[in-house]
Amino acid sequence: MSLSLADIKKELKECKLPDLPEAIKRFEEDERASVQKELQSARKRYDKYIKEVERVEHMALYEEKYGEFEFICGIDEVGRGPLAGPVVAGAVILPKGSRILYINDSKQLSEAKREELYVRIMEEAVSVGIGEASCERIDEINILNATYEAMRQAISKLDPKPDLLLNDAVTIPGVDIRQVPIIKGDAKSMSIAAASIIAKVTRDRMMVKYDEVYPGYGFASNKGYGAAAHIEALKKLGPTPIHRRSFIGNFV
């Protein structure tokens, strides 16, 4: 007796993506148009999954290229451009052969997907380090040097110590570990993408808390960046203790 359409839909929906072809094959001889429509939808889901597997495999090329190194660390920062809040750096060592589907440059992901991947990365990583430089430090030594400082801080928190650093574009001064700067590395390297997600989620959560402490500036939504409403509030209310004085001269 043939399964009902509802049962077939349920089975296809609950089937793990790698196992979809086998599930599809079970129902291929069912000539009902409604069933064939569901099978076509399942095939599209599987094709999308395969493309994602291939994309992620491509993102592991640098990790594979430098496979002779035991602990490869990806590094990235978030928050160089905002008017308020710290700059935050993430450093992540993933296990050998790690493949995390949907991982990408944090800017290309929705907030919900970043949060989901943050949990996965924290569970799977060999080690994660987070560093930050405050607005006062940014004003004191400039944003570039503050970024380097946050990156060095993140690296120092890793255990084990990495033997290779994959960096998003920069070469970090004052670090005695071999570095490989990769232009747009957060979209090309799984380790760097992981670091960008860790840094982004960490900083975003900080800015949501700052929104409660300093209401009126929209920190929860704009994360300290120069949105029109943020600039208007800055002009009206004046700067908070987390505003970067070296960044806001044109507004106050």
Task: Specify whether the CB–CB gap between 101 and 53 falls below 8 A.
Answer: yes
| pLDDT in the model for residue 250 | 87
Buried b (16+ CB within 10 A) or exposed e, 156-181: eebeeebebbbbbebebeebeeebbe
The stretch 23-32 carries a mean pLDDT of 88
> Is the whole model's pTM more than 0.85, yes or no?
yes
Q: What is the enclosing helix (H) or strand (E) of 81?
A: none
Looking at residue 8, its pLDDT comes to 87
Please state, for a pLDDT cut of 70, what percent of the chain lies above it.
100
What pLDDT is stored for residue 13 in this prediction? 87
- Tell me: pLDDT of 64 over 70: yes
pLDDT at 214 over 80: yes
Domain ranges of the chain: 5-59, 63-199
CA distances from 83 to 53, 78, 199, 244 (A): 38, 13, 17, 6
Q: Given pLDDT bands bounded at 50, 70 and 90, which one contains residue 84?
A: very high
CATH of domain 63-199: 3.30.420.10
Element (H, E) at 126: none
Name the residue with tokens 């070296």: 246
Residue-level pLDDT at 43: 93
Tell me which residue of 235, 227, 246 sits closest to 87, measured CA to CA.
246
* Confidence band for 230, pLDDT divided at 50, 70 and 90: very high
Q: Is 31 exposed, middle or buried (0-12, 13-18, 19+ CB in 10 A)?
A: exposed
What share of the chain in percent tops pLDDT 90?
87
pLDDT tens digits for 94-128? Answer: 999 999 999 999 999 999 999 999 999 999 999 99
Task: For residues 23-33, give the mean pLDDT.
Answer: 89
Look up residue 241 and give its DSSP letter.
Answer: T
Write the CA distances from 54 to 48, 84, 201, 226, integer angstroms: 10, 39, 26, 37
List pLDDT tens digits, range 145-194: 999 999 999 999 999 999 999 999 999 999 999 999 999 999 999 999 99
From the number of C-beta atoms within 10 Å of its C-beta (0-12, 13-18, 19+), residue 13 rates as exposed
